[in-house]
């Protein structure tokens, strides 16, 4: 196979995100149907896959949470690529993430508090927006607006964790900047998962002095979600050594790489379900990403379509839970058929269309803002072209004394009219005639 054809581009990243966000939607739709669905929902029917019972569907949906590790892995991969191109700024990355979050927040949170304050038919979420006192509203909105809390939408927990991942990932990459050993750096990245997922919680539960860690804001923010932070570190290491491209090169030596990708994706998910669970998410995320890329390499139109979904993946993640859990009328639409596959398509379509509308809305606001700005700048430019004219030039005067009352400097910057030129010429001729006489 030609080496030049093996690559992992930004379009590949978007395509993998497109698959990952679909997994997230399915995870929340079918993984918690009994706890979070609207009152009266009797569970999903078996649908057209009649031999697959509800427990199997639920199990697959629960393990679609692998998408979290995939998103964080791709985040670390992308940040290191920016660093290597000298295009990374920690401040700009965090501010950019907040801006994307606020775009959804400023639309959906007002809708939640205005129209869904009394959605008490939603068992799991009743009363979430029905706050009784103004201080509660202020505290809730400010804490969620700054990502310090996620009480408005429980699925927004990942935003704060992602900010922490960016900070820790930057430190991680700086510390290992001069180190050039792929195996040791990868082991360090895996080691952070063991440290924060297993070792520290075990010590904290057995050592009284460390029990306070569970209530510490910084510990819970930065280290409690090790299942997300560690894939971020692995993404940095894989980007540093072009690990994804190397893996694709190795697998591509085998014929029918398209089929390898097609079989590999469900194989990774099956392994997570029945072999080791989320403990190997750092590894599963890597191989799932490679298999998606291999599968889509041979189907360019499909990759383009899924990349479009990936472009909207963050918005869809932020939006979909409102339709799946929080907005009563929307949940009734999502669960209307009780066929898990059709309901998934409904949720997917609602989330994607909403994201497109949000982007069009802010695009329109941006266009209007630029138009107004251009009008103001043009007005200032035209105003600067005209000279300053003293105010007394426009004072009311008698018709016969006009020329006497207008200050001389009012004419200093004004060109003579044709009439004035003719009068001046006649005066010159008259003066000349008198002199000759």
Res 209: pLDDT: 64
117 with 22, same domain: the answer is yes
387 within domain boundaries:
no
68 with 178, same domain?
yes
Q: Are residues 364 and 398 in the same domain?
A: no
% of the chain exceeding 70 in pLDDT: 74
For the chain, give the percent of residues with pLDDT over 90: 42
Mean pLDDT of all residues in the chain? 81
Q: 377 in a domain, yes or no?
A: no
403 and 341 housed in the same domain: no
| Residue 41: pLDDT band with limits 50, 70, 90 | low
Do the domain assignments include residue 38?
yes
Q: Are 417 and 289 part of one and the same domain?
A: no
Look at residue 390 in the predicted model and tell me its pLDDT.
Answer: 60
**Same domain as 236, residue 130:** yes
Please tell me the predicted confidence (pLDDT) of residue 193: 79
Residue 226 lies in a domain: yes
User: Is 386 inside any structural domain?
Assistant: no
Res 409 pLDDT > 60:
no
Regarding whether 425 and 282 lie in a shared domain, the answer is: no
pLDDT at 124: 52
Q: Map the chain to HEC letters.
A: CCHHHCCCCHHHHHHHHHHHHHHHHHHHHHCCHHHHCCCCCCCCECCCCCCCCHHHHHHHHHHCCHHHHHHHHHHHHHHHHHHHCCCCCHHHHHHHHHHHHHHHHHHHHHHHHHHCCCCCCCCCCCCCCCCCCHHHHHHHHHHHHCCCCCCCCHHHHHHHHHHHHHHHHHHHHHHCCCCCCHHHHHHHHHHHHHHHHHHHHHHHHHCHHHHHHHHCHHHHHHCCCHHHHHHHHHHHHHHHCCHHHHHHHHHHCCCCHHHHHHHHHHHHHHHHHHCCHHHHHHHHHHHHHHHHHHHHHCCHHHHHHHHHHHHCHHHHHHHHHHHHHHCHHHHHHHCCCCEHHHHHHHHHHHHHHHHHHHHHHHHHHHHHHHHHHHHHHHHHHHHHHCCCCCHHHHCCCCCCCHHHHCCHHHHCCCCCCHHHHHHHHHHHHHHHHHHHC
In a domain, 375, yes or no: no
Query: Above 50 in pLDDT, residue 151?
Result: yes
Q: Are residues 60 and 195 in the same domain?
A: yes
Q: What are the pLDDT digits (tens) for 180-207?
A: 888 899 998 888 877 777 777 677 667 7
Query: What are the pLDDT digits (tens) for 73-128?
Result: 999 999 999 999 998 999 999 999 999 999 999 999 999 888 887 655 554 555 67
Residue 79 confidence (pLDDT): 94
Listed range (30-39, 150-159, 340-349) with the worst mean pLDDT = 30-39
State residue 12's pLDDT score.
92
Are 292 and 426 within one domain? no
47 or 199: which carries more pLDDT confidence? 199
Q: Is 80 exceeded by the pLDDT of residue 212?
A: no
Above 50 in pLDDT, residue 437? no
Domain that holds residue 409: 392-436
pLDDT, tens digit (0-9, with 9 covering 90-100), for 350-398: 999 999 999 999 999 999 999 999 999 888 887 776 655 565 555 555 4
119 and 249 fall within a common domain: yes
**What pLDDT is stored for residue 387 in this prediction?**
59
The verdict on 298 and 423 lying in the same domain is no
Q: Is residue 188 part of a domain?
A: yes
Number of structural domains (the chain) is: 2
Tell me, yes or no, whether 335 lies in a domain: yes
User: Are 293 and 404 within one domain?
Assistant: no
Name the least confident of 1-10, 121-130, 202-211, 343-352.
Answer: 121-130
Residue 136 reports pLDDT greater than 50: yes
């Amino acid at each position: 196979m030609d080496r030049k054809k093996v690559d992992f581009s930004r379009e590949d990243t978007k395509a993998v995100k497109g698959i990952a966000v679909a997994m997230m939607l399915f995870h929340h739709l079918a993984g918690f149907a009994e706890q979070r669905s609207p009152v009266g929902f009797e569970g999903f029917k078996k649908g057209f896959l009649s031999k697959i019972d509800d427990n199997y569907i639920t199990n697959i949906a629960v393990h679609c949470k692998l998408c979290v590790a995939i998103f964080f892995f791709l985040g670390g991969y992308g940040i290191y690529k920016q660093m290597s191109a000298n295009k990374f700024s920690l401040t700009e990355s965090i501010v950019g993430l907040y801006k994307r979050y606020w775009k959804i927040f400023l639309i959906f949170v007002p809708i939640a508090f205005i129209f869904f304050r009394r959605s008490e038919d939603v068992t799991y979420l009743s009363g979430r927006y029905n706050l009784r006192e103004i201080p509660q509203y202020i505290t809730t909105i400010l804490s969620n607006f700054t990502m310090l809390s996620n009480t408005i939408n429980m699925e927004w927990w990942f935003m704060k964790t992602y900010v922490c991942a960016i900070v820790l990932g930057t430190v991680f990459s700086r510390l290992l900047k001069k180190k050039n050993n792929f195996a040791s750096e990868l082991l360090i990245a895996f080691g952070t998962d063991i440290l924060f997922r297993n070792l520290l919680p075990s010590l904290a539960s057995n050592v009284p002095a460390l029990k306070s860690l569970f209530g510490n804001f910084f510990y819970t923010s930065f280290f409690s979600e090790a299942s997300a932070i560690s894939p971020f570190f692995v993404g940095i290491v894989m980007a540093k050594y072009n690990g994804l491209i190397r893996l694709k090169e190795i697998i591509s030596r085998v014929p029918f790489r398209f089929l390898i990708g097609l079989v590999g994706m469900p194989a990774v998910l099956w392994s997570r379900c029945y072999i080791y669970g989320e403990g190997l998410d750092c590894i599963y995320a890597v191989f799932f990403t490679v298999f998606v890329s291999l599968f889509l390499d041979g189907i360019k139109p499909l990759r383009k379509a899924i990349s479009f979904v990936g472009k909207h993946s963050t918005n869809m993640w932020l939006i979909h839970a409102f339709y799946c859990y929080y907005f009563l009328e929307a949940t009734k639409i999502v669960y209307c058929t009780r066929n898990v596959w059709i309901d998934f398509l409904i949720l997917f379509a609602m989330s994607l269309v909403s994201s497109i509308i949000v982007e069009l809305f802010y695009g329109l606001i941006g266009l209007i803002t630029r138009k107004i700005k251009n009008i103001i700048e043009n007005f200032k430019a035209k105003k600067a072209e005209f000279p300053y004219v003293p105010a007394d030039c426009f004072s009311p005067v008698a018709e016969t004394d006009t020329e006497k009352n207008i200050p001389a400097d009012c004419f200093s910057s004004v060109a003579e009219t044709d009439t004035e030129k003719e009068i001046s010429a006649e005066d010159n001729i008259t003066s000349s005639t008198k002199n000759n006489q």
